[in-house]
Chains A and B, each alone.
Chain A
Amino acid sequence: MTELTSHRTASELADQSLIRPRKVMSLPRVLRLAFLFASSAFVLIPFYATVLGGFKTTGELRTQPFALPQTWDLTYYKQILSDPALWNMMWNSLLYSGLTIFFTMLIASMVAFTFSHIHFFGKKYAYSYLITGMMFPAAVAILSLFIKIRDFGLLDTTAGVVLPQIAFGLAMSVLFFKSFFEQLPKEIFEAAMVDGCGYTRFFFKVVIPLSTPILATVGVFLLVGSWNSYIMPLILLNSPEKYPWTLGLMQFRGQYNVEWNLVLGYITVTIIPAIVFFLLAQRYIVAGLGQGAVKG
C-alpha cells in the first residue's frame, strides 16, 4: 500500500516535471518576457504617440499625450494630405532615390564584375581605390563637393544631387556585388566562354539574372539611404520645390513650430512609405546584415 502510493506519487511527480516547463512559466522565462515587452513598449510608444498626435487638438495633445484621442479629428491629416507641396516632395524623393538606386546598381555591378571575372593590370589598386569610399562619411568633403557641383553648374539640379549620391554609394555596393559574383560557380563561366558568349553578354544574360538576391539586398540598402538622405540635398539644392521630403519636413517644422499635432501628422504621413516598404522588404535587409556577420 505504502509502496503503491509512493510509486504513484513518484510517477505523478515525473509527469508534472515533464509538463511543468510548458504549463507553468519558470522565473527566467517570465523575466525574459517582461524585459522584452517592456523594451518593446519603449521602442513603440514614440511611434504610437506620433501617429495619434495628428488626430488630437493642440490642447488635448498637451494634457493627454498618451491617451487615445477623445474624438478622431481628421482636419489636421486632411490639411497635410491636401497640401500639394507634400506630394511634390514625395515625388522628388522618389525621383532622386529611383535614379540613385538604378545607376548605382548598374555601375557598381559592372565594375564589380570586372573585378570578379576579368584579369587586368591594376585590378587590385582599382578595387582598393573604390573601397576606401566606405571608410569616411560624405560630410568630410561636403564643402568642396558643394564648390565642385557649383563649378559644374549642377547646383539645384537633379543630376547635382544624384551624381554624388551614386559616387558615395558605390563602395558598399561594389563590395557586396564582388563577393557575390565570386561565389557564382566557375563552370557556368567556362561553359559560356567555350560557347563563344563574350564577357558583356555573359554579364547581362547570366550574371545579372543569377544575382537577384544580392541585387535586392543592395537595392534595399541604397533605397533606405537615398530616401532618407538629408545633408547632400540640404547643401546642393536651393529651391523648395526641388526639396526631398526630409528637407520639406524640417521646413514644415520650422513653419509650425509649436503646432505639434500638425508636425506629428506630417511625420506620420512621411514615414508610412518607409514602414510599408520595410515590412515588404525586411527579408532582404536581414539577409544583407547577415552576410557580413556570418562570413568570416
Chain B
Amino acid sequence: MTEQTASLWASFQHWLYRKNMGGRLTTLMFFLPPALVLFTLFVFLPVSEAFYYSFFKWKGLSAISESGTWVGLKNYSQVLGHSVFHTAVLNTLKLILISLLIQLPIAMAIALMVAEQSRLNALFRLVYFLPFILADVVAGLIWRYVYDGDYGLVGQISRMLGSEGFYPLADRDTAFYAIMVVVIWKYTGYHMMIYIAGLQGIPKDMLEAAKLDGANWWQTIVKIKLPLIKHAIQLSVFFSIIGALQFFEMIIPLTNGGPSNSSHTIVTYLYQYGIVRMKVGFGSSVGVMLFVTCVLFAFMYQKFVMTRD
C-alpha cells in the first residue's frame, strides 16, 4: 500500500467515524431499508406495473411477454366507452355529493349537540361511533337483512303500512340511495368525532366572551365555532371524498353492483370487470385512472384548500 492510499484510507476512516457518531450510519442502515424496501415492493412497483399492464390484453396466466398482447390505449377507450363505467363514475360522484351535502352537516349538527362533556353526551357519542368499527362487509350484510322485503325490518314496516314486500335493493331507482343510507349510518359518527375533537379545542373564554357580547347560539356557531374548527372540517371533507373514491366493500353484500349494474362504484366496477374476470390489463387501466384521480385530488386539495397558518 503506497503512502498516498494509506492516508486516503485513513482520512476515509476518519470521515466515516465522524459521520457515524452515535452509530448514525449504522442506525440508518438498519432503520431505513425495511420500510423503503417493503413500500417499494408492494406499493410502488405494483402501481408502476399497473401503468405498464394497462396497455396489454392479458389474462395473467403466464408471463406477460408470452400471453400478453400490446393493445395500446384500447383498454382505456373501452373503459371510457362502457356505459356501466359511466354509471359507476356517476354513482361515485353522487356519493361524494351526498356525503358533503347531507352526511357532513348531520355529523356537524350532532357534534355541536354532544360536544359538551357530560355522561349522557359521552353515551351518545359512543352510540354514533359504534358502526364505524364494523367491517364494511358486515355493515353491508346487516343492512342487507334490514332491507330484506321478506324477512327484514323494511319488510315488516312495509307490511305494517299495508303494502306487500318493498325491496329497496332490488329496485334500480332506489338501490344506490339505499346504499348511501348505510354509508351515512356507518360513517357519520366518524366525522362527528373529528368535529368534536376540534370543538373541544376551542378556548372556553372565547365562547364566554361571545355570550357577554350578546351573541345568540346561531351566531356563536357561525361566527366562532365553525371558523375555529376549519381544519377539522377540511380534514373530514378530504376523508369523505377519498373514502367515496375507494368505496367498495359494503356494496358486495348489499347489491354486488346490481340490479342490472345500476349500483356500481369505480372500485366495484374494477372488481367486477377486472378482478373477477381476471382481465389484468383492463382492470389495471381502471386502477390507473383511479390512482391518477386520487393523487391529483390529494395534491390539489393540499395546495388550494388545506391552508397552513
**Interface residue ranges, A against B (CB under 8 Å):** 32, 35-36, 39-40, 42-47, 49-50, 53, 58, 61-62, 64-66, 107-108, 110-111, 113-114, 118, 120, 126, 129-130, 132-137, 139-148, 163-164, 166-168, 170-171, 174, 193, 197-203, 224, 227-228, 230-231, 235, 246, 249-250, 253, 258, 260, 263-264, 267, 270-271, 274-275, 277-279, 282, 285-286, 289-296
Contacts and interface: CB of A to CB of B under 8 A. Distances in A.
Contacts of A145: 42, 46
Given A249-B141, A289-B194, A293-B197, 9 more contacts: A40-B127, A136-B291, A142-B283, A144-B284, A147-B60, A148-B45, A263-B141, A274-B134, A286-B197
B39 A170 contact: yes
Interface string B28-39: 101110111011
Contact of B249 (A130, A142, A231, A286): A231
Given A118-B28, A275-B130, A293-B235, A141 B275 contact: no
Given A118-B27, A140-B290, A260-B145, A293 B194 contact: yes
B138 A267 contact: yes
B133 A224 contact: yes
Contacts of B27: 114, 118, 198-200, 203
B267 A137 contact: yes
B26 interface: yes
A43 B280 contact: no
A164 B42 contact: yes
20 contacts: A36-B114, A53-B145, A113-B31, A136-B294, A137-B294, A139-B290, A141-B50, A144-B45, A148-B42, A166-B42, A167-B39, A170-B38, A170-B43, A171-B39, A199-B22, A200-B23, A228-B137, A231-B249, A250-B137, A250-B141
A293 B230 CA distance: 9
A296 B53 CA distance: 41
B286 to A, nearest CB: 8
B232 A293 contact: yes
A200 to B, nearest CB: 5
B227 to A, nearest CB: 13
Given A65-B152, A147-B60, A231-B249, A296 B309 contact: yes
Given A42-B185, A110-B31, A143 B50 contact: yes
B23 A230 contact: no
Contacts of B195: 293
Contact of B198 (A61, A135, A279, A293): A293
A283 B114 CA distance: 17
A174 B219 CA distance: 40
B47 to A, nearest CB: 5
Contact of A267 (B34, B141, B198): B141
B204 interface: no
B135 to A, nearest CB: 3
A65 B253 contact: no
Given A139-B248, A249-B138, A260-B151, A130 B235 contact: no
A43 B295 contact: no
B96 interface: no
Interface of B: 22-24, 26-28, 30-32, 34-36, 38-39, 41-47, 49-50, 53, 60, 110, 113-114, 124, 126-131, 133-138, 141-143, 145-146, 148, 150-153, 155-156, 185, 189-190, 193-195, 197-198, 200-201, 229, 231-232, 235, 242, 245-246, 248-249, 252-253, 267, 270-271, 274-275, 280, 283-284, 287-288, 290-291, 294-295, 298, 308-309
Contacts, number: 280
B15 to A, nearest CB: 14
Given A147-B60, A293-B235, A118 B138 contact: no
Given A43-B128, A46-B143, A275 B287 contact: no
Of the candidates A43, A143, A250, the one having the most CB atoms from chain B within 10 angstroms of its own CB is: A143
A44 B41 contact: no
Contact of B32 (A126, A267, A277, A278): A126
A289 B274 contact: no
Contacts of A129: 36, 39, 44
Given A43-B127, A65-B151, A166 B38 contact: yes
